[in-house]
Structure 1
């Protein structure tokens, strides 16, 4: 791809696929129980370069912050809330480590969280970062929703989109396990495939 001159001040973006597992629908009353992240790739004015999604990863299981939970949410993740009350990482320590990891892997690039869909994971991630570290390395809006990205490229209404409607070649060959790191890696591959896909 030819270099595009005239934009020397434009910082590259470092896309980080994030998946979280939680014990309820919203942060605060409910808790984020695990956080997985994988570097998906980097984009600058010359284009997007995919990363090996297993090369730079982060994973923590967290101690719950309240006594409330939705039993069905625990069935999905398979996480043992009683175990995490004893063994889970302190949220402030875990989110501090995550923020430092994001800054470390980003270098001079601007980190962007990406997820499928991003809305649920971003809600918990941003709330936890602000609550326990005082801020977010992604800023207040540094997230990209893969579902929206696909809908735009496929020229489909957003609510018509599901993974089963996507061309098979876009999907990762990895299973979606509801383990936060497994799913972050799987989604990193989906993101890179979507970035390379010309659309319809």
Structure 2
């Protein structure tokens, strides 16, 4: 067992489709889960023109606009990595946190490896839905964001704007954490 400090980072992404490589990462929002005012956001230039119309409809983002104003993917991932480095000292562990972390993680992991050669998170990821399921002993069906919000009553809500959603996810994590601490 280690006493290394863990830094939980809530991350949300908006994308042009369901899988990295074939579709583009369009925006990243992240915040320190226990200090959500310490946040990061970046819009990313698409790596190709491929998109799922429903994905763009949900985000409200435009492939054409991001092609012009988005940061080059390598520069975006470098900026994200630089921000992450401000959160953790040597020997501390960054923990990726997401609401349905497998989706967001897949894009972040792919982009870090493709454009930077490594992922500052390593292999650490915490899925809020799974944590909630374990903490409440609910069914997977009951981990939908609407059901979780109904139970936990967060002040924030999801909007499909990456930084705002990262802050919302961080609030959900803190509310679950509070329930776990209360019951232990």
Length-normalised TM-score, structure 1: 0.85
Distance 1:131 1:180 in 2: 21
| Residue of 131, 136, 141 corresponding to 2:119 | 136
Shift of 1:91: 0.4
| Residue of 81, 84, 88 corresponding to 1:99 | 81
**Equivalent position of 1:37 in the other structure:** 30
Q: 1 or 2, which has the higher helix percentage?
A: 2
Shift of 1:75: 0.3
Could you say what the CA RMSD is over the residues aligned between the two structures, in angstroms?
1.7
**Equivalent position of 1:48 in the other structure:** none
CA contact (8 A) 1:62 1:88 kept: yes
CA contact (8 A) 2:49 2:63 kept: no
Q: Which runs of 5+ in 1 are unaligned?
A: 1-6, 42-50
Shift of 1:98: 0.6
Q: Which runs of 5+ in 2 are unaligned?
A: none
Distance 1:167 1:26, change over 3 A: closer
- Residues 1:80 and 2:95 are matched in the alignment: no
Length-normalised TM-score, structure 2: 0.92
Q: Deviations over 1:157-195 (max 9, x none)?
A: 334422333364624211211000010011111111111
Q: Deviations over 1:19-71 (max 9, x none)?
A: 00000000111000000000013xxxxxxxxx2x12x1100000000121111
| Residue of 26, 31, 40 corresponding to 2:19 | 26
| Residue of 114, 119, 143 corresponding to 1:161 | 143
**Equivalent position of 1:4 in the other structure:** none
Structure 1 runs (4+) greater than 4 angstroms displaced:
none
**Equivalent position of 1:112 in the other structure:** 95
**Equivalent position of 1:122 in the other structure:** 105
CA contact (8 A) 1:40 1:191 kept: yes
Q: Select the structure of larger CA radius of gyration.
A: 1
Q: Number of paired residues?
A: 181
Distance 2:135 2:166 in 1: 22
